[in-house]
Structure 1
Amino acid sequence: MRSVRERLTFIKPMEPELVEHPPAGDGWSHEIKFDGYRTQVIKDVGGIRFFTKNSFDWTAKYRPLAEEAEALEAERFIIEGEMIVTNEAGLSDFHALRSAITRRPQELYLVAFDLLHLNGHDLRDMALKDRREVLQALIPAGGHIQFSEALPGAGDAVYHLACDAGLEGIVSKRLDSPYRSGSTMNWRKIKCYVEKEMDIIGVKRESGKPAMVLMADRGRYMGGAFVTFKADKRQALWDLAQEKSGAPPPKGLAKEKAEWLKPGLIGRVKFLKGEEKLRHASLKDFREEK
């Protein structure tokens, strides 16, 4: 047990691995994957401090939440959560978060999901379900610091429900897992897929490698999507690409070994939600813009 005068220090976060499917069985809890900034809140003799997942001190940016954190009924703690802002539909909105931090910090919410330290006791060797029980009792309802509730049901059902609701995905965690910094399969993130039409600006057909189309969204390069069509549809795509071949490489992409296309070929691509570039993406259909 640590002295109450000793300062608490930032703990490197435990990071979920990205997987394709939720784990089966009843030894897991499933939470919403919020689309925000991973945040660690420390309270000790020096007051409240907020840290990013890379240990940057963002206390000044999150000042409106400091008073609420100070009021939690504990002398010392380290709480982990996600800093978010919500849109009109009540969903976390990553793109609105940066402007909210600088212009409307009173609209921020911290969704707390783990408790690493409490009143001199290091809780990291406790099972997740026990840490979360203590955390839930610590956080009052109705404030801007909220407890991340586990969703009832099997992993598959929770995942499909989350995707149908427009959420980014879920995080599944072993109920008996201790807290260990770094990447781990004891926590797993499963992201939802979305489909969207984008411009096909190039194709990559290298021997021994899967064929890909290169995509742009409103002029912004998004990356590649795998082509998995059967032979006849694949050939129809290559025929259209051949007609539009000969465009110069887009700015910054000259080193890509690709065949660049003139505008007019549109593809509907399926990809993981909440990523900066296309990830786990596949081409579902294509059309020529008339």
Structure 2
Amino acid sequence: MVKRPSKSKTPPRAPLLSEEDATLRGQKRRPRDPAQPQLPFDPMPARIEPCLAKLVSKPPAGPNWIFEIKWDGYRLAVHLEHGTVRIITRGGHDWTDRFPAIADAARALPVSTAILDGEAVVLDDAGRSDFNGLQQALGGRGGKRSASDAILYAFDLLYFDGHDITRMDQDDRRRLLADLVPEDGDGAIRLSQEIEGQGAAIFAAACEHGLEGVIAKDRTKPYRSGRNGEWLKIKCVASEGFVIVGYERSSDALGGIGRLLLAARQGDGLVYVGGVGTGFSGSSATALRKQMDAMATDAPSADAGKKRKNVVWTRPELVAEIEFRAWTADGKLRHASYKGLRDTEDASDVYEVE
């Protein structure tokens, strides 16, 4: 038996008037009820603080997690608003003129307004991100050159077509991003590919191919600024930013630098985490020595323990990117190697000791 549809509670509409009826007249327009819901556009935010990945020792397991390659470059937010592009660093600086190819690619996207979250990188011959290559393209620390070879791997979409979509789940934001940035594109803006599978196997494969590591994201979570655990980073070789608090002189070493003395953040201060004496080139060591000598100071900004000879203490203004294998029992870096300096305007990413 076919079930009859239930009667509507709304009154039936009057039939259309025939041609013989009186002239049609609309009702007098009533003022809008303030309680009536509406769907306004969200104003374009000047900046959204980025979601940061929490460092963990092993990949998570479970169906909620998806994985991406961890790119080694500069975190950027690309703002597109009716043909106008702004490229903002993690530290909040406008670097639009330093990434002209990325800016041009953003203007060509098939949308009027958007904010993309991603990483600017320079790739080596094997297709891996090369942090030193990116720094050289930008003219080194404090340089003002534009990196025309840099590309953006976009991995999130925060604002789309007039609407703030940070409250949407990771999966939903990803689908919109994939519609906007082609998965097989080879331009200056490319989609950072999602990898589905077992986290341990994906991480092992990334390390075998010489990559820095992987990022794990909870597909069910919205985008939240800060380091809240929705995103995790697992590194094959640890690499973090540390503040240079001084250096040991050496007549035999490149640039006269025997060892850099490093510190991490701890609360409102700095804590000494050891030194690094490898990874320098002749030119980089000489330039670094000149910078450090220009900011020499009498007292150390972090307690380095025993009294040291032939040490030049410096103001804690330079942030070095350091690779290392592990930590010692007393909280010092093991098998550390110098990679380069973080840029003056974007040196906010300093390792924090809990």
User: What is the TM-score when the length of structure 2 is the normalising length?
Assistant: 0.58
Change (3 A) 1:184 1:216: same
Deviation at 1:216, TM superposition (A): 3.6
Change (3 A) 1:260 1:37: same
1:58 aligns with 2:102: no
**Could you tell me which residue of structure 2 aligns to residue 43 of structure 1?**
80
Secondary structure at 2:80 match in 1? strand
Code of the aligned partner of 1:147: L
Deviation at 1:54, TM superposition (A): 1.4
**Could you tell me which residue of structure 2 aligns to residue 237 of structure 1?**
none
Change (3 A) 1:85 1:254: closer
Distance across 2 between alignment mates of 1:189 and 1:150: 14
Distance across 2 between alignment mates of 1:128 and 1:152: 14
Secondary structure at 1:35 match in 2? coil
Distance across 2 between alignment mates of 1:134 and 1:254: 47
1:218 aligns with 2:278: yes
Deviations 1:164-222 (A, max 9, x none): 1111111100001100111111111111137xxxx999xxxxxxxxxxx95543397xx
Q: Which deviates further from its counterpart, 89-98 or 102-111?
A: 102-111
Matched-pair contact (CA < 8 Å) for 1:85–1:96? yes
Change (3 A) 1:45 1:2: farther
Deviation at 1:253, TM superposition (A): 10
Matched-pair contact (CA < 8 Å) for 1:200–1:214? no
Deviations 1:52-71 (A, max 9, x none): 01111101111222111101
Deviations 1:129-162 (A, max 9, x none): 1101110110131212000111231111111111
Indicate the structure with greater strand content. Answer: 1
Matched-pair contact (CA < 8 Å) for 1:8–1:42? no
1:137 corresponds to which of 154, 176, 179: 179
Deviation at 1:29, TM superposition (A): 0.7
Distance across 2 between alignment mates of 1:124 and 1:43: 16
Secondary structure at 1:182 match in 2? coil
Matched-pair contact (CA < 8 Å) for 1:8–1:44? no
**Could you tell me which residue of structure 2 aligns to residue 191 of structure 1?**
235
Deviation at 1:260, TM superposition (A): 7.7
Secondary structure at 1:179 match in 2? coil
Distance across 1 between alignment mates of 2:118 and 2:305: 42
**Could you tell me which residue of structure 1 aligns to residue 65 of structure 2?**
28
Matched-pair contact (CA < 8 Å) for 2:123–2:129? yes
Distance across 2 between alignment mates of 1:26 and 1:254: 44
1:280 corresponds to which of 326, 336, 351: 326
**Could you tell me which residue of structure 1 aligns to residue 192 of structure 2?**
148
**Could you tell me which residue of structure 2 aligns to residue 17 of structure 1?**
54
Once the two structures are superposed, the pairs formed by residues 123-272 of structure 1 within 5 Å of their partners are 123-140=165-182, 141-193=185-237, 216-218=276-278, 256-258=304-306
**Could you tell me which residue of structure 1 aligns to residue 314 of structure 2?**
none
Distance across 1 between alignment mates of 2:106 and 2:259: 48
Distance across 1 between alignment mates of 2:92 and 2:135: 18
Distance across 2 between alignment mates of 1:284 and 1:75: 49
1:117 corresponds to which of 134, 159, 166: 159
Once the two structures are superposed, the pairs formed by residues 81-92 of structure 1 within 5 Å of their partners are 81-92=118-129
Q: Which deviates further from its counterpart, 92-101 or 71-80?
A: 92-101
Unaligned runs of 5+ in 1: 202-212, 221-251, 262-273, 286-290
Change (3 A) 1:133 1:200: same
Deviation at 1:121, TM superposition (A): 1.2
Unaligned runs of 5+ in 2: 1-38, 140-144, 239-257, 261-272, 281-299, 310-319, 336-354
Matched-pair contact (CA < 8 Å) for 2:97–2:146? no
Matched-pair contact (CA < 8 Å) for 1:114–1:131? yes
Distance across 2 between alignment mates of 1:129 and 1:219: 40
Change (3 A) 1:259 1:279: farther
Secondary structure at 1:77 match in 2? strand
Secondary structure at 2:179 match in 1? helix
**Could you tell me which residue of structure 2 aligns to residue 68 of structure 1?**
105
Higher relative contact order (CA 8 A, sep 6+): 1
Distance across 2 between alignment mates of 1:284 and 1:122: 44
Once the two structures are superposed, the pairs formed by residues 102-113 of structure 1 within 5 Å of their partners are 102=139, 105-113=147-155
Code of the aligned partner of 1:92: S
Matched-pair contact (CA < 8 Å) for 2:214–2:235? yes
Change (3 A) 1:46 1:109: closer
Code of the aligned partner of 2:131: F
Distance across 2 between alignment mates of 1:118 and 1:166: 35
